[in-house]
Amino acid sequence: MTEEPRGRLRTYKGTGVSPGIAIGRALILEKRGGSIYRVPIRPDDVAKELRRFDQAIAHTKAEIEDLREKVTRSMGDEYASIFDAHAMIIEDPSFVDEIRQRIESELISAEWAVTTVKDELLARFDSFEDAYLRERGEDISDVARTLIESLEGNARHDLSEIEHDVIILADDVTPSDAVHYNRKPIVGFATESGGRTSHTSIIAKSIFLPAVIGVPRLTEMIDNEELVIIDGWEGTIHVNPSRAMIEECLSRERRHREQEGRLLENRDVPPVTRDGRTVTLRANIELVPEVNDAIRFGAEGIGLYRSEFLYISKSPDLPSEDEHYEVYRELLEKMSPNTTIIRTFDLGGKKLAREVIGSDEDNPVLGLRGLRLCMRHRDMFRTQLRALYRASVHGDLWIMFPLVSNLQEVRHVKALLKEIERQLEAEGIEFRKDIPVGIMIEVPAAALIADILATEVDFFSIGTNDLIQYSLAIDRGNENVEYLYEPFHPGVLRMIRGVIRAGSEANIPVSLCGEMAGDPIFTAILLGLGLEHFSMSPASIPMVKSVITNLKYSDSRRIAEQALLRKTAQEIEEYVIEQVATRIPQGLSRFG
Amino acid sequence: MIEREIEISNKLGLHARAAAKLVHTAARFASDIKVKKGSEEVDGKSILGVLLLAAAKGSKITISADGSDENEAIESIQQLFDDKFDESE
């Protein structure tokens, strides 16, 4: 803990996943069970913090006493005596005085002081040889947890009390954390782990929060309160920047914004190639307010609404039918008459579904997730589907199911939809009868049987993030194999080509809503493979549109054809970049 | 001041419940009470101190009491160990 920032300029390199410059004071976020922030406090606030701690002790004592009584009644005195130990721990000066002392001398929040003292004690217990005694550390954990819960109950340390801008630094940030960062004083964040296409990165981008990920040992190398610049374009973090450096970053920010402004001028230009082929550019969003960004950047509809964020923001509770309905209605009304494709809950895998699944899985990414999870938890699913049907009268709703791997799944879910329709009819509730029903193609086997699947659905959307990671058998968030994440892999491109062909032969629309759709480097080849519907983060739309309006469809056909004759991802990438660079005056950049 | 060496014979050693009983008993007396295992000495009235001794069955500890009621204190504590903290074996 430092009160005196180290003062030295340092620069760390990571991966920029959300563009922009953010300047603020470092706030290190520690994740241990709940979110406990290492929040610094002002010397003036020490007395207040100590009072808060004393109240928490009183509350914890009462709670332990209460528990003791309950257990005595139900199980007898012998069992209840375990709470004697808890009651003693909370009164033990070597515990509580130590915490008080740290609040005073280190100027930290009570929550953080409890956490550090507890962790140090646990480390000592962990070193015991006797297994039974070692496990007694649990008693300390228990008491510490109750203490922290009471602290959080009383005047929880609210980030909104912090008056200056802060940059969150953490070993990892979950999508649900990121959703909540969408407000002051948080202006940016950086993490030790994570991949470019992780959901956290997607969210950061969608709420325009500059973010840098994948900086090893970040939280150890930077101290709380140090001045930090996050450069989401370059993927760098500058600590204790000079005035000149701040100026330089800000002017770069201005240049980028100006460029973005120029791109935004094409907002109302239709996405048509120079030789007259029209495509649609829709937006991927997860939060309702992003509809405004979608409109601002010129999206012609929502190509992917990730409804699971509705769940994540309410977790651990499930949204009610009316809560679902209100969100969908608002989306549809705002986007009308354009299409809004709503994807049903894509939970599971790494996406926080433990409350729903109820247990950990050995291999969650290949486990109960996506449509599989929803079909297992029918009540939850019915609630969502009923709300979707009810909302369908407010706009052009298309419903999409994630992670389908065979035809049976499609048939089962369609049977469920029929059931919902009958139910709503019986209840006299109005809904649209012709809602298009589609699936995500993100499992390699599904891509290979796209012709079969196309006979039973109204549209496809290719989810390249998962499709790539499953077909290449690499975890896109794993730094060790991230180099193998190759969207230009000929196997990946052949699969995409196959799905687009199958769709076109069956006369159903095919869209692509993975990260590839929003990265201008892929625009020409996707266009050339015959893709007509692109869906991407709203901010990517102007750049992709400018690539499209500068290309000829006939040229991109040739580029795609020639590219697919090449044998490695690298050869294809080099070829495509070279071909496109000569046709696009402003050149290609990954971040518009 | 009086001291007494005790070998821990209850099955689970000075675990939470036994430690709680020891601390509870020690706290009834005005005397300073220390518990020592090897080179480590802790306050007999602090549960964390006693737990952190990690005194398993078979280990030897030394209890000391210093004060006006030291005799009574040491006898009461000895009694706890003799009764194996009333645990069922």
> Which residues in chain A are closer than 8 Å to B47, comparing Cβ atoms?
85, 88-89, 92
> Which residues in chain B are closer than 8 Å to A133, comparing Cβ atoms?
13-15, 51, 54-56
CA distance A67 to chain B (A): 16
Tokens read off for A124 = 């000592």
Higher pLDDT, A84 or A590: A84
A120 reaches B (C-beta below 8 A) = no
> Are residues A136 and B12, on separate chains, in Cβ contact within 8 Å?
no
Closest CA to A331 of A305, A298, A312: A305
Antiparallel, parallel or unpaired: β A15-18 and A211-213: antiparallel
Beta strands in A325-457 (DSSP E): 339-343, 396-401, 437-441
Interface of B with A (CB under 8 A): 12-17, 19-21, 23-24, 43, 46-49, 51-52, 54-56
Beta strands in A378-487 (DSSP E): 396-401, 437-441, 459-462
Which of B14, B16, B55 comes nearest A139 by C-beta?
B16
User: Is the per-residue pLDDT at A249 higher than 80?
Assistant: yes
Mean pLDDT of A355-382: 82
pLDDT of residue A5: 47
Mean pLDDT of A112-116: 90
pLDDT band at A356 (very low <50, low <70, confident <90, very high): low
pLDDT band at A480 (very low <50, low <70, confident <90, very high): confident
User: Is the per-residue pLDDT at A451 higher than 50?
Assistant: yes
CA closest to B15 among chain A residues? A133
User: Is the per-residue pLDDT at A30 higher than 50?
Assistant: yes
Of the candidate ranges A78-87, A249-258, A319-328, the one whose mean pLDDT is the lowest: A78-87
Mean pLDDT of B50-75: 89
User: Is the per-residue pLDDT at A199 higher than 90?
Assistant: no
User: Considering chain A, what percentage of its residues have pLDDT values greater than 70?
Assistant: 88
> What are the distances in angstroms from CA A537 to CA A13, A205, A542, B71?
24, 8, 10, 78
CA distance B46 to chain A (A): 6
- Complex ipTM value: 0.78
Cite the active site residues of B: 15
> Are residues B48 and A129, on separate chains, in Cβ contact within 8 Å?
no
pLDDT of residue A482: 84
pLDDT of residue A195: 59
Cα end-to-end distance, chain B, whole Å = 33
> What are the distances in angstroms from CA B21 to CA A68, A82, A83, A174?
15, 10, 11, 44
User: Is the per-residue pLDDT at A3 higher than 50?
Assistant: no
Antiparallel, parallel or unpaired: β A339-343 and A227-231: unpaired
> Are residues A92 and B13, on separate chains, in Cβ contact within 8 Å?
no
For the ranges A157-161, A388-392, A547-551, B23-27, the one whose mean pLDDT is highest: A388-392
Amino acid at A559: I
pLDDT digits (tens, 9 = 90+) for A257-289: 888 788 788 888 999 999 999 999 999 998 887
Cβ neighbours for A137, distance < 8 A, ≥ 6 positions apart: A121, A122, A125, A126
Partners of B6 in beta bridges: B61
Among residues A199, A377, A489, A533, the one annotated as catalytic is: A199
For residue A238, indicate whether it is catalytic: no
User: Is the per-residue pLDDT at A418 higher than 90?
Assistant: yes
A140 reaches B (C-beta below 8 A) = yes
DSSP B49-74: HHHHT---TT-EEEEEEESTTHHHHH
> What are the distances in angstroms from CA A113 to CA A38, A123, B82?
9, 16, 39
In the sheet with B60-66, reading across from the earlier edge strand, the strands are B2-7, B60-66, B32-37, B40-43
> Are residues A133 and B47, on separate chains, in Cβ contact within 8 Å?
no
Give the predicted TM-score (pTM) of the model: 0.64
- Are A462 and A511 in contact by the 8 Å Cβ rule? The answer is yes
Rg (CA), chain A: 27
Q: How many CB atoms lie within 10 A of CB A466?
A: 23
pLDDT digits (tens, 9 = 90+) for A489-526: 999 999 999 999 999 999 999 999 999 999 999 999 99
A82 reaches B (C-beta below 8 A) = yes
pLDDT digits (tens, 9 = 90+) for A122-154: 888 888 887 777 777 878 888 888 888 788 765
A321: left (phi over 0), alpha (psi -120 to 50) or beta: alpha
A126 reaches B (C-beta below 8 A) = no
Mean pLDDT of A392-406: 97
> Are residues B56 and A88, on separate chains, in Cβ contact within 8 Å?
no
> What are the distances in angstroms from CA A162 to CA A27, A157, A184, A260, A424?
11, 10, 9, 31, 49
For the ranges A103-107, A205-209, A354-358, A404-408, the one whose mean pLDDT is highest: A404-408
pLDDT of residue A32: 42
CA distance B1 to chain A (A): 24
Tokens read off for A495 = 């699969």
Which of B15, B24, B43 comes nearest A84 by C-beta?
B24
CA closest to B46 among chain A residues? A92
User: Is the per-residue pLDDT at A196 higher than 60?
Assistant: no
Higher pLDDT, A29 or B2: B2
CA distance B12 to chain A (A): 7
Q: Using DSSP, state whether A229 is helix, strand or coil.
A: strand
Closest CA to A204 of A464, A17, A478: A17
Per DSSP, A238 falls in state E
pLDDT of residue A592: 36
CA closest to B55 among chain A residues? A133
Q: Which of A139, A140, A142, A143 to mutate to test the interface with B (most CBs of B within 10 A)?
A: A139
The CA distance from A32 to A334, in Å, is 40
pLDDT band at A550 (very low <50, low <70, confident <90, very high): very high
The CA distance from A482 to A14, in Å, is 13
> Which residues in chain B are closer than 8 Å to A121, comparing Cβ atoms?
48, 52
A581: left (phi over 0), alpha (psi -120 to 50) or beta: alpha
- Are A487 and A522 in contact by the 8 Å Cβ rule? The answer is yes
User: Is the per-residue pLDDT at A4 higher than 50?
Assistant: no
> Are residues B46 and A92, on separate chains, in Cβ contact within 8 Å?
yes
User: Is the per-residue pLDDT at A375 higher than 90?
Assistant: yes
| Angle CA A581–A585–A589, to nearest 5 | 60
The CA distance from A364 to A367, in Å, is 4
Mean pLDDT of A71-89: 75
pLDDT digits (tens, 9 = 90+) for A437-446: 999 999 999 9
Mean pLDDT of B32-54: 89
Q: Using DSSP, state whether B31 is helix, strand or coil.
A: coil
User: Is the per-residue pLDDT at A23 higher than 90?
Assistant: yes
Is A521 exposed, middle or buried (CB count within 10 Å of its CB: 0-12, 13-18, 19+)? middle
CA distance B61 to chain A (A): 16
> Which residues in chain A are closer than 8 Å to B21, comparing Cβ atoms?
81, 84
The CA distance from A441 to A450, in Å, is 8
Mean pLDDT of A573-582: 90
Which of A81, A124, A129 comes nearest B17 by C-beta?
A81
CA distance A137 to chain B (A): 9
